[in-house]
Structure 1
Amino acid sequence: MASLTFSQVAFTCKDPIATEIFYAKNFGFKRARVAKLPDGGQIVFIKMSDYPFYFELFKAKEELPVAPPINDGPEYPSVRHLAFKVDNVDAKLAEMGDDAKITLGPFNFDEYIPGWRTVWVADPDGRIIEISQGFVDQDNPPPLEADLRLPAFTI
């Protein structure tokens, strides 16, 4: 199998610079590249610290055609939310100050995973971001229960 690395997520933003500032200030992203487009626009690539992972920021050319997501994100087929792990959710919220536009929580999920605490916030464009602490992988995760599985597709 050829080498494979998760590379980037592309965002369409009302204000790419405001989005860049939000992620730089609150999650350690830094500008990695600006690409000029033939139509005069630009793409801003921001990189998460020294990880080989980028957000690719495009300027929106249209208005949002649906209501902005709430709580922990949309329940229709979509990306529900982005997530970042931190050592302490409350300390991160305090550090973010007015940038922390809480949409849901914070909640403790000790009944699922001891020590797991999560809050959801909105970025400048209303994308939902989960900030959590204490999540760990499960040893030998069980298969999904039958009633939770997606229906089989037929061709």
Structure 2
Amino acid sequence: MFKLNRVHHIAIICSDYERSKRFYSETLGFTIVREVYRAERKSYKLDPEVNGLYQIELFSFPDPPPRSSGPEAAGLRHLAFEVDNIEKAVYHLTEFDILTEPIRVDEHTGKRFTFFADPDGLPLELYEK
């Protein structure tokens, strides 16, 4: 049996590369590690990370087809990010005109969380530490 060490990255294809790049770097505060343009694919690839721990690969492709990505759709449900203070995080998002759901409490852990969406509607969650 092999051993998994950790999640290495999460790949996201966006419909508007510059808008998503700003969202993940400026709004959410990811650090950009690397950005490359792959001319043969007419595609950008951006590698942002959070505190050196989690890396997302953000891709652009010409005319990607839409994907159903509601939180209850089959497939990837959402990406969750841990925060120290959920009210501060929600306030920060509202400064960028990002709408969040009301803050809820996880009935099993007692931790607070909320959902919002990236520019393509990918469900994202903030989960308080």
TM-score, reference length from structure 1:
0.68
Partner deviation per Cα, 1:20-68 (whole Å, 9 max, x = no partner): 21122233212111233223322121122322x32111114233154x5
The aligned amino acid for 2:50 is M
Bigger strand fraction: 2
Contact conserved, 2:17 with 2:44, CA < 8 A, in 1? no
Secondary structure of 2:25's partner? helix
- 5+ long unaligned stretches in structure 2: none
Residues 1:77 and 2:78 are matched in the alignment? no
Match runs of 1:1-155 below 5 Å: 1=2, 4-37=5-38, 38-51=40-53, 53-60=54-61, 61-66=63-68, 69=70, 73=71, 75-97=72-94, 98-102=96-100, 104-109=101-106, 111-114=107-110, 116-134=111-129
Write the letter of the residue equivalent to 2:15.
K
TM-score where L is the length of structure 2: 0.80
The code of the aligned residue for 2:10 comes to V
Tell me the C-alpha RMSD between the 2 structures: 2.2
CA distance in 1, matches of 2:43, 2:66: 19
Distance 1:113 1:47, change over 3 A: closer
Aligned pair count reads: 125
Shift of 1:130: 0.8
Q: Which runs of 4+ in 1 moved over 6 A?
A: none
Structure 1 unaligned segments of length 5 or more: list them: 135-155
Identity among equivalent pairs (%)? 23
Change (3 A) 1:24 1:99: farther
